[in-house]
Amino acid sequence: MSACTVCGGLHVARGFCARHYAEIVRGHMPRPTRDLDLASRLEYYSESVAETGCQIWIGSTNAFGYGRIWLKDKVVLAHRVAFEIANGPIPQGAYVLHRCDVPQCINTTHLFLGSFNENMADMVRKGRQQKGERHAHAKLNTEKVLAIRSDQRPQRTIATEFGICQQNVSMIKRRERWSEISQS
């Protein structure tokens, strides 16, 4: 019979003893003992998704959805730790990218090394960059872009009205900006 993954007690359900399983049912995540090695902690705080093959981090995450784990005296990204355990040290300045585009995934077969530029190119290729209305600092939306394109007044006047510079008005009218919006 197997043991509880937290305390080593008698296994009852889903890898836990009765006490720790009850904590999970109540919505509390039991903490593993401090003597677990790093690989065991990664396994403990993740679960497999058969359909995608992802190993999803269910522990703490940052604002972007990437798993976080304490390592010595600092918090590090779980997918980077998983990659290092499987492949050795990550070179200085290298990024660990996801083939699956799931920030919580720590499956090392879904991870690969790349540079900042490769990471940005991967983001653009997969259509994940924030542009248009989805961008956090967007001052315009589809309705305003269409209004700018059809407005015949001087570009400086239009720019002042919409709180943007004249060059942006020019690029919108030439469809160099907001090119994804077609004239209706």
Q: What is the pLDDT of residue 3?
A: 75
Q: What are the Cα distances from residue 16, in Å, to 5, 56, 107, 121, 162?
A: 6, 19, 23, 43, 59
Q: Domain check: are 85 and 148 in the same one?
A: no
Closest CA to 115 of 96, 87, 89: 96
Q: Are residues 121 and 41 in the same domain?
A: yes
Rounded to 10°, the helix 166-173/155-162 angle is 110
- Indicate if 109 and 45 belong to the same structural domain: yes
Do 89 and 114 have their domain in common? yes
146 and 120 belong to one structural domain? no
Is there a domain that residue 25 lies in? yes
In a domain, 105, yes or no: yes
- In the chain, how many domains are there? 3
Residues 46 and 106 in one domain: yes
For 15, other C-beta atoms within 10 Å of its C-beta total 16
Q: What is the reported pLDDT for 70?
A: 82
What pLDDT shows up at residue 93?
Answer: 93
**Which domain does 152 fall in, by range?**
133-173
Q: Which residues contact 130 (CB under 8 A, 6 or more apart)?
A: 136
Q: Are residues 56 and 103 in the same domain?
A: yes
> 67 is written with which tokens?
């798993």
Is residue 180, in this structure, part of any structural domain at all?
no
Indicate whether 53 and 18 sit together in one domain.
no
Per residue of the chain (184 residues), what is the pLDDT tens digit?
A: 577 777 777 878 777 788 878 877 777 766 655 567 888 888 888 999 999 999 999 888 898 899 998 887 788 999 999 999 999 999 999 999 999 989 999 999 999 999 999 999 998 888 787 777 777 788 899 999 999 999 999 999 999 999 999 999 999 999 998 888 876 5
pLDDT value at residue 137:
81
Has residue 138 been placed in a domain?
yes
Structure tokens at 54: 């992802």
Tell me if 181 is assigned to some domain: no
My answer on whether 52 and 86 are in the same domain is yes
140 located within any domain: yes
| pTM, to two decimals | 0.62
